Structure 1
Amino acid sequence: MKEQVVCKTSDIQPGEMKEASFGRQGVLVCRTPDGEFYAFMNQCIHQGAPLDKGMICGATTDKSKPGSYDYCHEGEVIRCPWHGREFSIKNEGRMLANPSKKIPSFKVRVEDESVIVYK
């Protein structure tokens, strides 16, 4: 099993993300508001945008009306910087608009203060 320490837990606050390397692969390490860590390929599946240049946000709910937005899953969605594609962090990086598509993900574990990515 290949594994690597990619950062310390203190490097990423809840609701934030950070670019890191896993071997020669660029990865995006995300920390959701509940403190859980996730890691994905740092490249949008649409046209290859670097996802670390995007943002972590929430999603609108079905209750949203024109001019008024209700949000949910705040801090659990990655938004691509180029075309606004949105991916669920907690749902394996699946695209919100088309859940059959997803960003490749990596397994993550935390030991002491180290965030470890592995296959």
Structure 2
Amino acid sequence: MNEQVVCKTTDLAPGEMKAADFGRQNVLVCRTLDGEFYAFLNQCTHQGARLEKGMICGATTDKSKPGDYDYCRKGEIIRCPWHGREFDIKNEGRMLAEPNKKLPNYKVRVENEDVIVYK
């Protein structure tokens, strides 16, 4: 099994993300507000932007009206810095606008204070 410690749990507060090397790949390690860790290829599927330059945010609901935004899922969406594409952290990195497209993702486990990414 190919695995590697990419950071410590204390390196990321809930709602934060950071880039880390995993072998020859650069991965984006995310920690959701509930404290869970996730890892994705640190590259947008659209034009390759480094996602760590983007942000973790929420999404608008279908109840939103023009000029009035109803937010949900705070801390569960990665937003690309270049064109605003949004990816669902908790749903395998699936794009919100096109759920059949998703970020390549990696498995993550925590042992003691180590965040370990593996295939």
TM-score above 0.5: yes
Q: 1:32-55 CA distances to partner (integer Å, 9 max, x unpaired)? A: 000000000000000000000000
Q: Give per-residue Cα distances to partners, 1:61-96, cap 9 Å, x unaligned.
A: 011011110000000000000000000000000000
Task: Give the structure-1-normalised TM-score.
Answer: 0.99
Q: Which runs of 5+ in 1 are unaligned?
A: none
Residue 91 (structure 2) pairs with residue 91 (structure 1): yes
TM-score (norm 2): 0.99
Q: Percent identity?
A: 80
Paired residue type of 2:74: E
Please name the residue that 1:117 is paired with. 117
**Aligned residue identity for 1:13:** A
Quote how far apart the aligned CAs of 1:24 are. 1.1
- C-alpha distance in 1 between matches for 2:43 and 2:11: 21
Q: Distance in 2 between matches of 1:13 and 1:21?
A: 19
Question: Where does residue 16 of structure 1 map in the other structure?
Answer: 16
